[in-house]
Amino acid sequence: MAIFVRNLFLFFIVVFVCFVGGFIFYHEHSLPVIGYSQFYRDLQGHDVKELTFTGNRAEVVLQSGFSYTVNVPDVKKVTASLDPLNVTITYQPDYTSFYFQGALFIAGVSLAIVILLSFFAHRRETSESRFASDKLIRPHRGEDRITFDDVAGVPEAKEELQEVVSFLKNPDQFSNIGALIPKGLLLQGPPGTGKTLLARAIAGEAGVPFYSFSGSDFVEMFVGVGASRVRDLFSEAKKNAPCIVFIDEIDAVGSSRTTVSSDGQDERGQTLNALLVEMDGFSSTDNIIVLASTNRPDILDAALSRPGRFDRRITLLPPDLKGRQKILDVHCRKVTLREEVDLEEIAQMTSGFTGAELANLVNEAALLAGRDGCEAIEIEHFDLARDRIMLGVERKGVILTEKDKQILAFHEAGHAIVAKLLPDSDPVHKITIIPRGRALGQTQQLPMGDRTAYSRDYLKNRIAILLGGRAAEKIIFNSRTTRAENDLLQATEIATNMVCRWG
């Protein structure tokens, strides 16, 4: 609105100056106006030399050379009484109304242009200044609302975040006894462990506005833009308090500051400084919670992760056996399963899977079941989906000779035999020589449970199982092939860690 008023004011100043200038120019170059009685006496005295009529206005030139203008009420009567041989009479069209209409048209077009330019400038300024309001996401009250019931496998994190929900719902419960809720919570952990989902669940449980941003949204090419966006975001958040501000991948803007000076570093530094200042500016009554997530907590700036800004760090790790079973139960509510499908068995064969990978597993199994024309998902579909996620799509175009198939079969059999005979090793789940991804075959072992520590005997058995394929090739064919490349890499890595890291 300020831009429109300013441009309109300038427009009227220009019009006023043009009007005054034209008025002065007209009066300086116009002839004097004489009354009709004086004009009549000049006619009777034969002093008129030339007459130029423009409508009812006449420009008179006397014999002496003096000129003036006069308004003639009856032009026909005057011209009829004159002798054309003595007085030169000229008629000109009257352009006064035309000039007036043209001036009004030009002024109207100019005013319309000023209004349009002001409107577009106002829209651009609004879109740049109200950066936060454009990305405001309010939780839905219907079926799309995400709550803690949609999050599983992280009971400790849910229990700790329940305190935040209680504060947002009833802040007086804590403020009456002088307790201050943490200003910021940092969710850290590997990708796919449910950091973003957990942040949305907090907003869904509390029923408050949820601002969702990525760290890269604040990093721009021009220095100062990111800092301005941070200020706009927190200004908008304070208007809608209580609320939650969630910054995903905060390491994009909150990485440790260095002494290297560059445009990108200056932009990140100013944006980080603005974020630090805004978080320090919270009062105990603002009721704003800042959530952030990162996969790299080790590179965050020390000033960002100190108490008073991000007071708490909540670490999310891949779920254990019970956690995976609960996550599968959440995702399997949306699909149709056979009665004989055991989610505990699926949880056992997905050791190390994150929540996102388990969701992908259920979706891949549903796609395979739909492709086969089944009415419900069977356990075989989960098995195929697991192979597809871990190894890749089946390579049906690979052609193996009989000799290659024999070597591949004995190679995988060597892994299986060693794994079967050695104690304290994971049981063999499946042996396949169907090429998938980069692997031509695989011997899969199914852990009986989640291991938190590995014994020396287990690691030695693991190395022996990896080398069993090469040993089988040497015993049966008395030769060595390159199929043991990946086995040798894994065995070398385990042996190196046993010596250098685990002693």
The alpha helices in 319-401, defined as continuous H runs, are 321-331, 343-348, 355-371, 379-390
Mean pLDDT of 444-468: 85
Q: Is there a single domain that holds both residue 299 and residue 359?
A: no
How much is the pLDDT for 468? 92
Section 474-489 average pLDDT: 87
pLDDT > 90: what percent of the chain? 10
Greater pLDDT, 285 or 114: 114
**CA distances (Å), 404 to each of 276, 401, 407, 410, 486, in order?**
62, 5, 5, 10, 17
From 293, 313, 333, give the residue that closes a domain: 313
Same domain, residue pair 166 and 256:
yes
- Considering the domain architecture, whether residues 156 and 285 belong to the same structural domain is answered as yes
Predicted confidence (pLDDT) at residue 496 exceeds the cutoff of 90: yes
213 three-class SS: strand
> What CATH number is attached to the domain comprising 37?
3.30.720.210
pLDDT higher than threshold 70 for residue 295? yes
CB 327 within 8 A of CB 194: no
The neighbour count for residue 286, using CB atoms within 10 Å, is: 15
Whether residue 131 is contained in a domain is answered as no
Task: Assess whether 412 carries a catalytic annotation.
Answer: yes
Same domain, 182 and 241: yes
Give the separation between CA 212 and CA 332, rounded to whole angstroms: 27
Task: DSSP letter for 288, please.
Answer: E
Question: Is it the case that residue 12 has pLDDT exceeding 80?
Answer: no
User: Of 282, 313, 344, which one is at a domain's C-terminal end?
Assistant: 313
Which listed residue (278, 412, 473, 493) is catalytic?
Answer: 412
Q: Are residues 38 and 84 in the same domain?
A: yes
CATH classification at residue 352: 1.10.8.60
Q: Among 123-127, 211-215, 413-417, name the one with the lowest average pLDDT.
A: 123-127
Q: Which of 40, 72, 97 is the last residue of a domain?
A: 97
Q: Are residues 336 and 306 in the same domain?
A: no
**Bridging pattern class, strands 312-315 and 442-445:** unpaired
Residue 483 included in any domain: yes
How confident is the model over 349-368, as pLDDT tens digits?
Answer: 888 888 889 999 999 999 99
Q: Does the residue 107 lie in any domain? A: no
* CATH code of the domain containing 428: 1.20.58.760
Q: Of the given ranges (152-166, 262-276, 385-399, 428-442), which has the lowest mean pLDDT?
A: 262-276
Q: Is 274 domain-assigned?
A: yes
Domain presence at residue 111: no
Examine the domain organization and report whether 374 and 242 are in the same domain: no
Q: What is the CATH number of the domain that holds 229?
A: 3.40.50.300
CB atoms within 10 A of CB 178: 7
Residue 391, pLDDT score: 77
d(CA 432, CA 359): 25
Residue 106 lies in a domain: no
Task: Determine the structural domain holding residue 271 and report its residue range.
Answer: 136-313
CA distance 230 to 225: 9
The verdict on 492 and 345 lying in the same domain is no
pLDDT tens sequence across 225-236: 677 778 888 888
Predicted confidence (pLDDT) at residue 259 exceeds the cutoff of 50: no
Alpha-carbon torsion, ordered 411, 415, 418, 423, to 10 deg: 180
Report, in this order, helix, strand and coil percent for the chain, each rounded to 5. 55, 15, 30
